[in-house]
Amino acid sequence: MTSPLSALSASHPLLDGRTSDSPLVRAARGDRPATPPVWFMRQAGRSLPEYRASRAGTEMLDACLTPDLAAEITLQPVRRHGVDAAVFFSDIVIPVLLAGVGVRIVAGRGPVLDEPIRTASDVLRLRPVEPEALAPITDAVSIVVRELGDTPLVGFGGAPYTLASYLIEGGPSKDQLRARAMMRTDPRTWATLLNWCADVTGAFLRAQVEAGASVVQLFDSWAGSLSRTDYQRRVAPHSRRAFDALRGFEVPKIHFGLGMGEMLDLLPPLGADVIGIDWRLPLDEANDRLGGRLPLQGNIDPAFLTGPWNLVEAHVRDVVARGAAAPAHIVNLGHGVPPETDPEVLTRIVELVHDL
């Protein structure tokens, strides 16, 4: 049974009252709870000893597709740090894998494709992700949501450009030369590929929401490699298509991209309710560039996390003070948690933010 106002099930945490009044959801909708909510990108794993113990002997993508294990890893940072949200433990290439594309996670490098996608015929061979293939995702999300109670789960997906970059380059790339070359030399194949990426990410996001995620975030790790014009003409419409997969689902949406300070004004029309800001741009300046219209997320510099506590504390206080300029503020990092981070520092940051 669904609400007449939403495609969400009546038992969804946003509709049955579990998470609708949580600090994260309130902030994402433009409200200001008594203290700003805080969570960390890549908080599920990497720096946690319990994560390393849980994943011992299990490949990354296998862990993502084992519901009990993925759920356990998702919950670990909530138990340890007391953050205001869990973020689903998975990987942005999971929907690509579930659609039948051969991809592996190589330690120290990241996602690597067995056969990169570089021609029109390669793109035409791509198939959609079938609903039944997403069962491990919905099973894991359902387990997490039952355990979280009134703490919201953040679902996530990779933005089409970032997915396309991995597909074309065959793995991580600093400059995305092959991807940008296809964009310019074969725009029709490029558009077809990015539509496919938008659709598999959209299906991935939708599966998480239907299973109980209360917020979603679209990650665009490589968009900062683009010119403003290329992003606006050749990429932004596909990010909007990914968000459009959630049309009718009244869930707050966050858009985070690295190196997009000069393109922030292009993001609001794409469908997000919150704009994530990386560490490069102060939040009060980001708010000015966005015309004070949207809540912001961010933007603690991860480089501070290994420094002495007095520097960390001063930086966090400054971030929160600058975030007060925005309509609402979700405290987060300006990128992910570095694996060498002492987990105690993250716990102290959460306590500090909640005490401010």
Q: Note the pLDDT of residue 311.
A: 98
Measured distance CA(104)–CA(297) in Å, rounded: 31
Please tell me the predicted confidence (pLDDT) of residue 209: 98
**Is 16 part of any domain?**
no
User: By the 8 A CB rule, do 37 and 23 touch?
Assistant: yes
Q: What are phi and psi of 110, to 5 degrees?
A: 120, -155
Which member of 18, 26, 51, 55 is catalytic? Answer: 55
One pLDDT digit (tens) per residue for the chain, 356 residues = 344 447 999 999 999 999 999 999 999 999 999 999 999 999 887 789 999 999 999 999 999 999 999 999 999 999 999 999 999 999 999 999 999 999 998 888 889 998 999 999 999 999 999 999 999 999 999 999 999 999 999 999 999 999 999 999 998 888 899 999 999 999 999 999 999 999 999 999 999 999 999 999 999 989 999 999 999 999 999 999 999 999 999 999 999 999 999 999 999 999 999 999 999 999 999 999 999 999 999 999 999 999 999 999 999 999 999 999 999 999 999 999 999 999 999 999 999 999 98
Please give the structure tokens belonging to residue 146.
């039952």
What is the reported pLDDT for 11?
96
- Residue of 42, 80, 180, 241 marked catalytic: 42
262 located within any domain: yes
**pLDDT in the model for residue 173:** 87
- Residues paired with 153 in a beta bridge: 86
From the list 51, 161, 166, 231, the catalytic residue is 166
Residue 297 lies in a domain: yes
Within a domain: residue 323? yes
In a domain, 259, yes or no: yes
Segments forming the whole domain that contains residue 249: 23-355
The tokens describing 107, both together, are: 């330690």
Residue 125 annotated as catalytic: no
Which residue out of 51, 80, 91, 301 is catalytically annotated?
91
d(CA 243, CA 17): 24
Phi, psi dihedral angles at 229 (to 5 degrees): -65, -45
Q: Cα separation of 22 and 258, whole Å?
A: 27
pTM of the model: 0.96
Q: Is residue 2 part of a domain?
A: no
Q: Is 55 a catalytic residue?
A: yes
Helices 160-169 and 236-244 pack at an angle, to 10 degrees, of 110
161 is a catalytic site residue: no
End-to-end CA distance of the chain: 41
Q: Report yes or no: 337 and 46 within 8 Å, Cβ to Cβ.
A: yes
pLDDT at res. 97: 97
Q: What residues are paired with 216 via a beta bridge? A: 155, 253
Q: Is the separation of the CB atoms in 12 and 248 below 8 Å?
A: no
Could you give the CA distance from residue 3 to residue 10 in angstroms, rounded to a whole number?
Answer: 6
Q: Which letter, b or e, does each residue of 135-146 get, where b requires 16 or more Cβ atoms within 10 Å of its Cβ?
A: ebbbbbbebbbe
Domain count, the chain: 1
Question: Is residue 124 a part of any domain in this protein?
Answer: yes
State residue 154's pLDDT score: 98
Contact residues for 264 (Cβ-Cβ < 8 A; gap 6+): 275, 277, 281, 286, 289, 290
Q: Are 276 and 309 in contact (CB under 8 A)?
A: no
Residue 234 has what DSSP assignment? Answer: I
**Contact, 346 vs 313, CB < 8 A?**
no
Is 7 part of a structural domain of the chain?
no
- Indicate the DSSP class of residue 112: E
Q: Which of 29, 46, 289, 348 is catalytic?
A: 46
Report the distance separating Cα 320 and Cα 282, nearest Å: 10
Residues near 321 by beta carbon (within 8 Å), at least 6 away in sequence: none
Q: Are 172 and 110 spatial neighbours (Cβ–Cβ below 8 Å)?
A: yes
pLDDT for position 317: 98
CB of 182 within 8 A of CB of 121? Answer: no
DSSP state of 235: I
Q: CATH code at 140?
A: 3.20.20.210
**pLDDT value of position 45:** 78
So what's the pLDDT on residue 114? 87
